[in-house]
């Protein structure tokens, strides 16, 4: 059995991106929720609109959420594609 790579990438990227969207928005609205996770995430993926950055306007928070979701979508899509290709390569039928 071989994986359909496009379906695997979409099936993992969409739920992962929605989860990151919820986490990013919620951590920006509530200072305590997810602050350690967002610090760790932004240490790997730095951008000027981090959730814990002081004095951001509302539209800069929207840019920050878009950066967070974009980084997450790219990471998950790449990882799912690599895993799918490796699985198909190892499972030659």
Per-residue pLDDT tens over the stretch 48-91:
998 888 788 999 999 999 999 999 999 999 999 999 999 999 99
Tokens standing for residue 89: 């390569």
Q: Are 3 and 80 in contact (CB under 8 A)?
A: no
Residue 19's pLDDT is 96
Runs of H (alpha helix) within the chain = 5-29, 35-44, 58-90
The arithmetic mean of pLDDT across residues 7-20, rounded, is: 97
Q: Output the pTM of the full model.
A: 0.88
Nearest Cα to Cα of residue 52 among 66, 64, 44: 64
């Amino acid at each position: 059995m071989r994986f359909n790579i496009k379906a695997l990438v979409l099936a993992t990227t969409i739920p992962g991106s929605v989860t990151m969207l919820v986490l990013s928005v919620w951590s920006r609205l509530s200072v305590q929720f997810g602050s350690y996770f967002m610090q760790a995430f932004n240490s790997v993926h730095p951008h000027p609109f981090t959730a814990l950055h002081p004095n951001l306007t509302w539209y800069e928070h929207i840019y920050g959420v878009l950066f967070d979701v974009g980084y997450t979508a790219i990471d998950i899509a790449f990882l799912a594609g690599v895993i799918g290709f490796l699985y198909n390569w190892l499972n030659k039928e």
